Every structure is written in structure tokens, then in C-alpha cells.
């Protein structure tokens, strides 16, 4: 994947989360990446291109399941402790996605998240981030699980297959306050 936004930077804790994602990072990532990640600072900023190269390495050597785990670890390491008390429902997670994204990413024209639809047990999101979709799906699963919500994520449109943006549809059997929280319904 070619990404040409030189101003886009990722927070070091997200990059370093990869080390906590797998049991044997040396085998999956290789010594170059492991050494590079161990030398990083949690609070420093690094070029997004580094993150995308790392995601490609994980996809190539560990598969899509490893990218899902990587996304889950991003939430655990960078957001769970900071956002834990603020996130009480799926609505809090869904409407807080863009804020969480911007906490761990900075620069000009870096994309983001938009809520296209929201109702009991259902939401449609537009994703315009350079991250691999599996990473973002893992992030969503972990964030929603932190508020006690299990979700199925379906992706009807993906930028990797030619769409202008990715759309993710979230479905859950949970339709009460654990899903909606204090958030109003929004028709897609």
C-alpha cells in the first residue's frame, strides 16, 4: 500500500503494541523489526509509513488474524486505561472512535471515522484511515468488548478493493442501554 502523507504520524504506543500481540515476535517480525520496536518510546511520534510497513509485515508473516490481534492490542495499550471510565456503552465507543483515532494519530488530512447510522444493535461507520481494515476491526471488537458488547462486523465496502472509503456495519443482539447509552438514533 502506498501512502504519501508525510505529515501523518502515529503514537509510539500503537507501534510498540505489536510486541505484545504475538508470543514469538522475532519469528513473525524478524530481528530488524523487533529491535526497531524495542528502541521506540511510547509517547513519541513516528511516521505513519512505519506503521503501514509494520502492518504489511504482520499480514505477510502472521496473516489477517494477527492484524485483528494487533488492533485489539492498540486499544488495550493506548486507550483502555485512558478511556475506560468514559466508555459505558457501544454508543460511547462508536461516537468516540474518531477522538480515539486522533489521540494516536496526528498530522494534516489523516482521515478519520464518521458515524453514518446508529440504532439499537446496529451501526454503520465510514472509515477513512490508512490502517488495514483488520486492524480497525480488531480495535472495534476490543473496545466494544470492554463495555460488555459482542458485535459482528461486516464490511460492504473497502478502499483496498476500489471503494472511496471503507464502510463497516456493526450488528449486535444487544439493543438496550448497553448499546445505545445516551446517544440518539441516526438513520443511515
Q: Are the C-beta atoms of 49 and 15 separated by less than 8 Å?
A: no
pLDDT score of 162: 85
Q: 98 and 172, same structural domain?
A: yes
Q: Are 56 and 20 in contact, with CB atoms under 8 Å apart?
A: no
The answer as to whether 188 is a domain residue is no
Residue 49: other Cβ atoms inside 10 A = 18
Q: CA-CA distance, 39 to 91, in Å (whole number)? A: 37
Q: Domain for residue 129, yes or no?
A: yes
Question: What is the per-residue pLDDT across 56-92, written as a single tens digit (0 to 9) for each?
Answer: 999 998 899 999 999 999 999 999 988 878 999 999 9
Let me know if residue 4 belongs to a domain. Answer: no
Contact 56, 117 (CB under 8 A): no
**CATH value at residue 169:** 3.90.1520.10
Residues 98 and 71 reside in one and the same domain? no
Residue where one domain finishes, among candidates 82, 110, 140: 82
Examine residue 38 and state whether it is found in any structural domain, yes or no.
yes
Residue-number span of the structural domain to which 152 is assigned = 88-180
pLDDT digits (tens, 9 = 90+) for 24-40: 899 889 999 999 999 99
Looking at 82, 100, 117, the residue that finishes a domain is: 82
Residue where a domain stops, chosen among 49, 65, 82 = 82
Convert the pLDDT of each residue in 100-132 to its tens digit: 999 999 999 999 999 999 999 999 999 999 999
Burial class (CB in 10 A: 0-12, 13-18, 19+), 47: middle
Between 170 and 19, the more confident residue is 170
Amino acid at each position: 500500500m502506498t501512502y504519501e502523507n508525510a505529515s501523518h504520524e502515529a503514537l509510539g504506543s500503537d507501534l510498540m503494541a505489536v510486541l505484545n500481540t504475538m508470543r514469538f515476535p522475532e519469528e513473525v517480525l524478524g530481528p530488524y523489526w523487533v529491535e526497531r520496536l524495542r528502541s521506540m518510546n511510547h509517547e513519541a511520534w513516528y511516521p505513519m509509513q512505519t506503521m503501514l510497513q509494520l502492518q504489511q509485515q504482520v499480514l505477510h508473516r502472521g496473516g489477517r488474524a494477527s492484524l485483528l490481534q494487533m488492533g485489539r492490542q492498540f486499544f488495550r495499550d493506548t486507550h483502555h486505561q485512558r478511556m475506560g471510565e468514559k466508555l459505558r456503552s457501544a454508543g460511547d465507543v462508536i461516537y468516540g472512535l474518531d477522538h480515539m483515532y486522533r489521540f494516536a494519530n496526528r498530522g494534516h488530512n489523516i482521515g478519520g471515522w464518521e458515524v453514518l447510522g446508529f440504532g439499537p444493535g446496529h451501526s454503520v461507520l465510514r472509515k477513512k484511515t490508512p490502517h488495514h481494515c483488520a486492524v480497525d476491526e480488531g480495535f472495534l471488537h476490543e473496545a466494544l468488548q470492554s463495555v460488555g458488547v459482542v458485535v459482528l462486523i461486516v464490511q460492504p465496502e473497502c478502499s483496498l478493493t476500489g471503494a472511496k472509503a471503507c464502510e463497516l456495519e456493526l450488528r449486535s443482539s444487544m439493543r438496550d442501554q448497553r448499546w445505545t447509552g445516551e446517544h440518539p438514533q441516526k438513520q443511515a
